[in-house]
Amino acid sequence: MIEELLPRGAIAVEAVSDPPDAVLFPEEEALIGRAVPKRRLEFTTVRHCARTALGRLGLPAVPILTGERGAPQWPDGIVGSMTHCAGYRAAVVAHSTDLVTLGVDAEPHEALPPDVLDTVTLPQERDRLAQLAATRPDVHWDRLLFSAKEAVYKAWFPLTRRWLDFDEADITFDGGRDQSGAFDARLLVPGPVVGGVSLPGFAGRWLVRDGLLFTAIALPVEGAHSSAADSLQGVALA
């Protein structure tokens, strides 16, 4: 499913159950040894997905450890992103010669708790969510916005090694059709520098299917600055 949101060059592997043959490297076991069973399963399966994806790029199976702020540590020359929620796990990888960065997220397609919404959104975002909900009540736009901000952070962090708060990116959705569409994330802090140019934001895509929602950002190497800047011009709300 999530591969529908990604460009050529990005390899996605997903799972809707935890395969019994998925195993961890000893170095990964050391990270998860005291975790509860639920956490252990999702940790193991998403790495199984990641190793399968890396194999499709011609790379050997390697441990995928966590670095600063829990970010996955990919082999040299690889960019990637992982996500998991109840009933779904996925990993996406690409050669860094094809994509500058990746950020993917999956969430259950259900409303956010009201107290969470105020924490993760800006006032103008809440106004837009209300408009979207009035015209497209079939989509939980609040959860979709949360997912988009997760994807933004996953794309942002490998480029900056800095935290990005929820109120430091302003998300605008198109109204979409057939349960899919696009979004733009305008950064409210100085953006990451790519090719000597500070990016103003990221362009992403979204999809709702089978009780889940998905968001993805994939920034191509060629024209990285222009693609990000162009995507932030003239976005219309449906």
Taking the C-alpha atoms of residue 113 and residue 24, their distance in angstroms, rounded to an integer, is: 34
pLDDT digits (tens, 9 = 90+) for 44-103: 999 999 999 999 999 999 999 998 888 999 999 999 999 999 999 999 999 999 999 999
Helices (H), the chain: 26-32, 37-56, 114-120, 123-135, 141-160, 224-231
Q: What is the dihedral of CA 201, 155, 18, 111, to 10 degrees?
A: -30
The CATH number assigned to the domain with range 2-103 reads: 3.90.470.20
63 CB neighbour count, 10 Å cutoff: 15
Cβ pair 107, 147 in contact under 8 A: yes
CA dihedral sign, ordered 11, 15, 20, 24:
positive
Q: Would you state the structure tokens that stand for residue 6, as one six-digit string?
A: 């990604």
Intra-chain end-to-end CA distance of the chain, in Å: 24
138 CB neighbour count, 10 Å cutoff: 8
Per-residue confidence (pLDDT) for residue 218, from 0 to 100: 97
Please say if the pLDDT value at position 238 is more than 50: no
Please say if the pLDDT value at position 202 is more than 70: yes
Taking the C-alpha atoms of residue 156 and residue 159, their distance in angstroms, rounded to an integer, is: 6
Residue boundaries of the structural domains of the chain: 2-103, 107-231
Share of the chain above pLDDT 90, in %: 83
Q: Which of 72-76, 115-119, 224-228 has the lowest mean pLDDT?
A: 224-228
Ramachandran bin of 170, using left for φ above 0, alpha for ψ from -120 to 50, beta for the remaining angles: beta
Please say if the pLDDT value at position 232 is more than 90: no
